[in-house]
Structure 1
Amino acid sequence: MDISTLFTQAACKWPQALAIKDLRSQRELTFAELNHALDDFGAGLEELGVGKGERVALLADTSLDYLLADYGCMAHGRVRVPLDPSLAPSELLAQIKDAGARVLLFGTGHSRVAATLIEQGVVCLALDEVRVQRPADAPARDAQARTGLASLNYTGGTTGAPKAVMHTHASLCAVLQNIVMARAALPGDVLLNVRPLWPIAAVALLAHLLSGGQLTLVERFEASTFVSQLQQHRAAFSSLVPTQLLRVLREPSLAEPDLSTLKSIDIGAAAIAPSVLDDACQLFGPRLSVLYGMTEAPWTCYLSAAHMGQLRRNGESAEGLVGRPVFAAGLRIDRPDDQGMGEIMLAGPQLMAGYWQQPELSANVLQDGWLRSGDLGRIRADGHLQVMGRSKEIIRSGGKSIQPGEVIECLLAHPQVADAHVFGLADLEWGERVCAAVVLKPGTEACGEQLQSHCQQLLSRFKVPRQVYFVATLPRSHYGKIQLNRLLEQLG
Structure 2
Amino acid sequence: MAARGAMVPRATATTRRVAPGRLLSRLEVADECFRDTTRPADSMNIAQLSLDNIQEYGEYVALWFDDRSITNVEQYHHSSKLARMLQTHGVAPGDRVIVMMLNSPDVMAAFTATWKLGAVIIPVTPMWTAREVRYLMEDSHASMVLTSPELAARLVEAAEGIETIREILVIGPTETPGVTEIADEIDSAEPYTPMFAPAPDDMAMLLYTSGTTGDPKGVILSHENLVASIDMVHRNLAGIKDVRTVSSLPLSHIYGVLVMNMGFRLGTRIRILRAWDTQAVFEAIQELQVNRLSVVPTMLTYMLNFPDRDRYDVSSLTNVGSGGAPIPEAVRVEFERVFDCTVKQGYGLSETAAALSGYRPDEPYRVGSVGRPLPGIDACVLDNENRPLAPGESGEICARGPQTMRGYLNKQQATREAIIDGWLHTGDIGHIDADGYIYITDRKKDLIIKGAENISPKEIEEGIYAHPAISEAAVFGVADERFGEDLVAAVVLRHGASATETELQSHLSGYVTKFKIPARVVFLDELPKNNTGKIQKRSLRDQFADLLRNPAGRLGEPGASNPRQVGSSDDRQN
TM beyond 0.5? yes
Contact 1:146 1:168 in 2 (8 A): yes
Asked if 1:438 corresponds to 2:494, the answer is no
Distance in 2 between the 1:4 and 1:416 partners?
A: 47
Cα 1:107–1:22, aligned 2, differ >3 Å: closer, same or farther? Answer: farther
Question: Of 294, 311, 315, which residue of structure 1 is paired with 2:349?
Answer: 294
Asked if 1:303 corresponds to 2:359, the answer is yes
1:59-79 deviation line (CA, Å, top 9, x unaligned): 111110111012211222111
Contact 2:206 2:220 in 1 (8 A): yes
Asked if 1:106 corresponds to 2:147, the answer is yes
2:19 match: none
Name the stretch that deviates more: 219-228 or 270-279: 219-228
SS of the equivalent of 1:389 reads strand
> Alignment identity in percent?
27
Cα 1:184–1:63, aligned 2, differ >3 Å: closer, same or farther? Answer: farther
Cα 1:263–1:2, aligned 2, differ >3 Å: closer, same or farther? Answer: farther
Which structure is larger by alpha-carbon Rg, 1 or 2?
A: 2
Distance in 1 between the 2:457 and 2:212 partners?
A: 21
Distance in 1 between the 2:336 and 2:127 partners?
A: 31
2:199 match: 145
Contact 2:84 2:190 in 1 (8 A): no
1:225-276 deviation line (CA, Å, top 9, x unaligned): 423422311223221111111100112443793534x452221111111210
Contact 1:288 1:305 in 2 (8 A): no
1:154-208 deviation line (CA, Å, top 9, x unaligned): 1117853121111000000001112222233656532322322122212321222
Distance in 2 between the 1:139 and 1:413 partners?
A: 56
Cα 1:40–1:276, aligned 2, differ >3 Å: closer, same or farther? Answer: same
Matches within 5 A, 1:47-66: 47-66=88-107
Task: Structure 2 unaligned segments of length 5 or more: list them.
Answer: 1-43, 173-181, 384-388, 546-574
- Whichever residue aligns with residue 92 of structure 1, its letter is V
1:126-162 deviation line (CA, Å, top 9, x unaligned): 13516375547x7633322221100011111785312
1:2 match: 45
Cα 1:120–1:289, aligned 2, differ >3 Å: closer, same or farther? Answer: farther
Contact 2:451 2:484 in 1 (8 A): yes
Q: Shift of residue 444 of structure 1? A: 6.4
Question: Of 270, 274, 285, which residue of structure 2 is paired with 1:219?
Answer: 274
Asked if 1:383 corresponds to 2:447, the answer is no
- Whichever residue aligns with residue 13 of structure 1, its letter is E
Asked if 1:275 corresponds to 2:330, the answer is yes
Pairwise CA RMSD: 2.7
2:68 match: 26
Cα 1:338–1:237, aligned 2, differ >3 Å: closer, same or farther? Answer: closer
2:168 match: 124
Name the stretch that deviates more: 268-277 or 417-426: 417-426
Distance in 1 between the 2:424 and 2:153 partners?
A: 39
Distance in 2 between the 1:414 and 1:192 partners?
A: 30
SS of the equivalent of 2:236 reads helix
SS of the equivalent of 1:94 reads helix
Question: Of 280, 299, 310, which residue of structure 2 is paired with 1:254?
Answer: 310
Task: Structure 1 unaligned segments of length 5 or more: list them.
Answer: 312-317
TM-score by length of 1: 0.88
2:125 match: 84
TM-score by length of 2: 0.77
Q: Shift of residue 11 of structure 1? A: 3.2
SS of the equivalent of 2:362 reads helix
Q: Shift of residue 119 of structure 1? A: 4.7
Q: Shift of residue 301 of structure 1? A: 0.7
**Count of residues in correspondence between the two structures:** 480
Distance in 1 between the 2:260 and 2:129 partners?
A: 27
SS of the equivalent of 1:84 reads coil
Asked if 1:327 corresponds to 2:375, the answer is yes
1:373-402 deviation line (CA, Å, top 9, x unaligned): 111222223322122111222222223221
After superposing on structure 2, the runs of 4+ consecutive aligned residues of structure 1 that deviate more than 6 Å are none
Contact 1:420 1:438 in 2 (8 A): yes
Asked if 1:203 corresponds to 2:258, the answer is yes
Cα 1:28–1:485, aligned 2, differ >3 Å: closer, same or farther? Answer: same
Contact 1:22 1:63 in 2 (8 A): no
Cα 1:339–1:231, aligned 2, differ >3 Å: closer, same or farther? Answer: same
1:314 match: none
